């Protein structure tokens, strides 16, 4: 996933980035500190970690891939934030073998739950890394988006398979081990002891629109970005999004973000 601050990449990341930046800003105001401690689990080469560090925060990235961590180090250096970004090799299952419990103001868990054997454990570990007051940014593959995409591609049997499979997979060739409904993700976050600050649908249309149209039609990219932002908060579209973003908050994290679910 590219840097969320780059225009073309923003089709995939703009909604998440806006919600995350707002949550971090609220934590800054609540704590009275200019710089927060942020943990990015599965953060790879720093697609979110480096932009977060550019905001002035200290970011620890945990990822199992040495190559990704090497790319993270290079990207952080190029962005001039090497002193605020630290990469350590590890995974969500053994998280506390490499980082401290209760040491972070915010935890990012983006694209991780799809690949862990026990999603509840993954979310639980992420929450356990938070300070008593903190926020969790959880992003995972949405079941409805996969069903819709397979159906629109004419793969109706695979669409039905994804709909009925316990893990939301459309077949043996499916590269994604787990997909989730919005309700499943919010239940995981609440089950870990957080309240739901916001739920957003991500990439509702972006993966369905032909890339050539977005790249060549004047104004199409900006219009699609505005459309994605407009539908992201609407519950009716959460169930058909390619990804679902959930912001989980402890009791004292400030006013809820837009799109809060009652």
pLDDT in tens, 227-256: 999 999 999 999 999 999 999 999 754 444
pLDDT tier for residue 11 given thresholds of 50, 70 and 90:
low
More confident: 53 or 92:
53
Instruction: Report the C-alpha gap between 80 and 83 in whole angstroms.
Output: 8
| pLDDT of the residue at 49 | 96
User: What integer pLDDT is reported at residue 144 of this predicted model?
Assistant: 95
- Could you tell me the two tokens for 52? 């977060």
Among candidate residues 12, 90, 20, the one with its CA nearest the CA of residue 52? 20
What pLDDT sits at residue 260? 40
Mean pLDDT of 12-18: 87
pLDDT of residue 256: 44
Q: pLDDT per residue over 181-227, tens digit each?
A: 999 999 999 999 999 999 999 999 988 887 777 777 888 888 988 99
pLDDT digits (tens, 9 = 90+) for 95-136: 999 999 999 999 999 999 999 999 999 999 999 999 999 999
Q: In angstroms, rounded to a whole number, what is the distance separating the alpha carbons of residues 138 and 248?
A: 8
- Please tell me the distance from the alpha carbon of residue 246 to that of residue 23, in angstroms, as a whole number: 12
Exposed e or buried b for every residue in 151-187, given b needs 16+ CB within 10 A? eeeeeeebbebbeebeebbbeeebebebbbebebbbe
Condensed to tens digits (0 to 9), the pLDDT of residues 132-172 reads 999 999 999 999 999 999 999 999 999 999 999 999 999 99
Minimal CA–CA distance to 112: which of 87, 92, 137? 92
52, exposed or middle or buried, with CB in 10 Å at 0-12, 13-18, 19+?
buried
Q: Tell me what the pLDDT averaged over the chain comes to.
A: 90
CB of 126 within 8 A of CB of 60? no
**pLDDT at res. 1:** 38
Per-residue pLDDT, 251: 72
Q: Mapped to the 3 state alphabet, what secondary structure does 123-175 carry?
A: HHHHHHCEEEEEEEEEEEEEHHHHHHHHHHCCCHHHHHHHHHCCCCCCCCCCC
Phi, psi of 75 (to 5 degrees): -65, -40
Out of 8-12, 236-240, 257-261, which region has the weakest mean confidence (pLDDT)? 257-261
Whole-number pLDDT of residue 257: 40
- Which pTM value belongs to this model? 0.89
DSSP state of 35: S
- Report whether 206 contacts 11 (CB < 8 A): yes
């Amino acid at each position: 996933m590219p840097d969320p601050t780059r225009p073309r990449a923003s089709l995939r990341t703009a909604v998440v980035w806006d919600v995350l930046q707002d949550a971090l800003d609220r934590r800054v105001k609540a704590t009275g500190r200019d710089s927060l401690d942020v943990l990015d689990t599965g953060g790879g080469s720093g697609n979110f970690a480096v932009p977060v560090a550019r905001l002035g925060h200290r970011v620890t990235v945990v990822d199992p891939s040495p190559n990704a961590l090497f790319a993270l180090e290079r990207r952080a250096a190029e962005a001039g934030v090497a002193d605020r970004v630290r990469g350590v090799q590890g995974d969500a299952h053994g998280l506390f073998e490499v980082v401290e419990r209760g040491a972070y103001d915010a935890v990012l868990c983006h694209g991780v739950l799809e690949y862990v054997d026990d999603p509840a454990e993954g979310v639980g570990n992420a929450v356990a890394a938070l300070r008593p007051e903190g926020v969790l940014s959880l992003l995972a593959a949405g079941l409805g988006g996969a069903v819709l995409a397979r159906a629109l591609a004419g793969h109706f049997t695979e669409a039905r398979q994804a709909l009925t499979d316990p893990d939301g997979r459309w077949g043996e060739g499916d590269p994604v081990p787990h997909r989730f409904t919005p309700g499943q993700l919010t239940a995981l976050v609440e089950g870990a002891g957080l309240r739901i600050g916001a739920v957003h649908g991500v990439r509702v249309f972006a993966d369905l629109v032909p890339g050539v149209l977005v790249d060549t039609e004047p104004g199409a990219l900006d219009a699609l970005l505005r459309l994605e932002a407009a539908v992201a908060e609407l519950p009716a579209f959460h169930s058909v999004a390619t990804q679902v973003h959930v912001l989980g908050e402890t009791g004292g994290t400030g006013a809820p973000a837009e799109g809060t679910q009652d």
